[in-house]
Amino acid sequence: MGDTVGELLAERAGDDNPALFAGDAVWSWREVAAESAARAALLTAMTDGAPLHLGVLLENVPEYVFVLGGAALCGSVVVGINPTRRGDELARDIRHTDCRLVLTDATEAALL
């Protein structure tokens, strides 16, 4: 069995058993691994290929899981950004954790 999240995801890439449930939607391990790999490829393409600190300002949605998996596959670090923080505190949190990119959605974008 793998020692890292990336290795664990790779091991489940052919598994069609349910892995992620969100409301009425269900993703198999195969689908979670594929979505994670797509996020890893995007992160790699958006940067110089070096691992990065990726700030994630999202609620508890499936995309968060895919980004966590993608970061694990490409060696990046996810920094969970606290959506209860505002203004200078939020900016300090992002700077302090050396985020090169911040991922959010339309719901949370106004906080930035």
> Which tens digits make up the pLDDT trace of 1-25?
668 888 889 999 999 999 999 999 9
> Which tens digits make up the pLDDT trace of 42-67?
998 888 777 789 999 998 899 999 99
- Burial level of 55, CB count in 10 A (0-12/13-18/19+)? buried
Contacts of residue 45, defined as CB under 8 A and 6 or more positions apart, other chains included, come to none
Of 109 and 69, the structure prediction assigns the larger pLDDT to 69
pLDDT of residue 1: 67
- CA separation for the pair 2, 55 (Å, rounded): 26
